[in-house]
Amino acid sequence: MAKIFDIKHFAVHDGPGIRTTVFFKGCPLRCAWCHNPEGLEFVTQTAFFAHKCIGCGRCREEGFAETDCLGGARVVYGREVTVGDILPELLEDSDFYGENGGVTLSGGECLMQADFCAELLCELKKNGINTAVDTCGFVPRAAIDKVAPYTDIFLYDVKAADADVHIRCTGQSNGIIIENLKYIDSLDKSIEIRIPYVPGYNDGEMGKIGELLAPLKNLRGVRILPYHPYYEGKYAALGYLAPADIKVPAEESLAAARAELQKHLGGLVL
């Protein structure tokens, strides 16, 4: 049994090809710019999207369940599922996966529910599906050991090379994350690095991240993910305060970041 908050079809930016992505509840980090706030907590949450409320009043009635909300303003994030519950849906799109596409486990942090992930990935491999694990890396090594045999590619987030910067960005140091990254590399597993690029937080880190990644032997690519603000509605709906004062990076600064990474990683920068 695991707790997930969404399954997204036709995901084209969560690994190679056309993919279906499963989003798991709960994350050990608290990134200042998190664009999936509904994945932070492990507990099930109900969000209220005020602009969708049609004033039907059903939520004031006895026995109301969120699914009764006629306007769809109340959204429940979190449902418990078994592998058998979701496997058919993940196989629905197998005709679209082609040579490269498949299923990605994401979150939140999917490896906080590593036993389930291993079971699910194993079933997917039995069905010939390409698998990807999207992780922040702040997980016990045992979690990696559980899923690695059934994982074709790790999509690995690197937010900063400097420990202090990482703490400011995420609330945690990056020691475990860097060790786990090296460990996955030692297992000869394909790795795609994903670097959220957030002005004011980690925009000075690109050179150091490049140095950190250069020795890895199984890198398949390094992708910069520019900060975007298209999540603020979810913060309000969940009763959170949205991050303040983060600016969308300018094209020139993105180009400079890419150039900085390319000094160390050349054509691996996607």
Alpha helices in 15-162 (DSSP H): 83-91, 94-97, 114-126, 141-147
The 39-68 contact track toward another protein, x by CB under 8 A, reads: ---------------x-x------------
Alpha helices in 76-205 (DSSP H): 83-91, 94-97, 114-126, 141-147, 163-170, 175-186
**All residues at 6 or more sequence positions from 26 whose CB lies less than 8 Å from its CB, including other chains:** 3, 39, 40, 41, 42, 107, 108, 109, 112, 113
CB of 172 to another protein, least distance (A): 29
SS3 at position 199 = coil
Q: Does 16 bind another protein (CB under 8 A)?
A: yes
| Residue tagged 């460990």 (tokens) | 183
**Which of these, 121, 88, 122, 92, lies nearest to 105 by C-alpha position?**
121
- Of the two residues 93 and 109, which places its CB atom closer to another protein in the complex? 93
Q: Does 8 bind another protein (CB under 8 A)?
A: yes
Answer for the pair 40, 30: CB distance below 8 angstroms, yes or no.
Answer: yes
129-158 residues in contact with another protein (CB under 8 A) are none
CB of 163 to another protein, least distance (A): 32
Q: Does 10 bind another protein (CB under 8 A)?
A: yes
The footprint of another protein on this chain (CB under 8 A) covers a number of residues equal to: 23
Q: Judged by CB under 8 A, which of 13, 126, 182, 263 binds another protein?
A: 13
The 70-89 contact track toward another protein, x by CB under 8 A, reads: xxx-----------------
- Of the two residues 139 and 265, which places its CB atom closer to another protein in the complex? 265
CB of 92 to another protein, least distance (A): 6
Q: Judged by CB under 8 A, which of 37, 39, 78, 101 binds another protein?
A: 101
Phi, psi of 226 (to 5 degrees): -65, 140
Token pair for 76: 């429940």
Candidates 7-15, 102-110, 182-190, 259-267 — which segment interacts with another protein by CB under 8 A?
A: 7-15
SS3 at position 184 = helix
Distance CA 31, CA 162 (A): 15
**Beta-bridge partners for 46:** 76
- Of the two residues 53 and 214, which places its CB atom closer to another protein in the complex? 53
Candidates 77-85, 94-102, 163-171, 246-254 — which segment interacts with another protein by CB under 8 A?
A: 94-102
**Which of these, 248, 229, 169, lies nearest to 201 by C-alpha position?**
169
Candidates 3-11, 139-147, 149-157, 158-166 — which segment interacts with another protein by CB under 8 A?
A: 3-11
Q: Does 95 bind another protein (CB under 8 A)?
A: yes
Binding site for another protein (CB under 8 A): 8-10, 12-13, 16-18, 20, 54, 56, 70-72, 92-93, 95-98, 100-101, 270
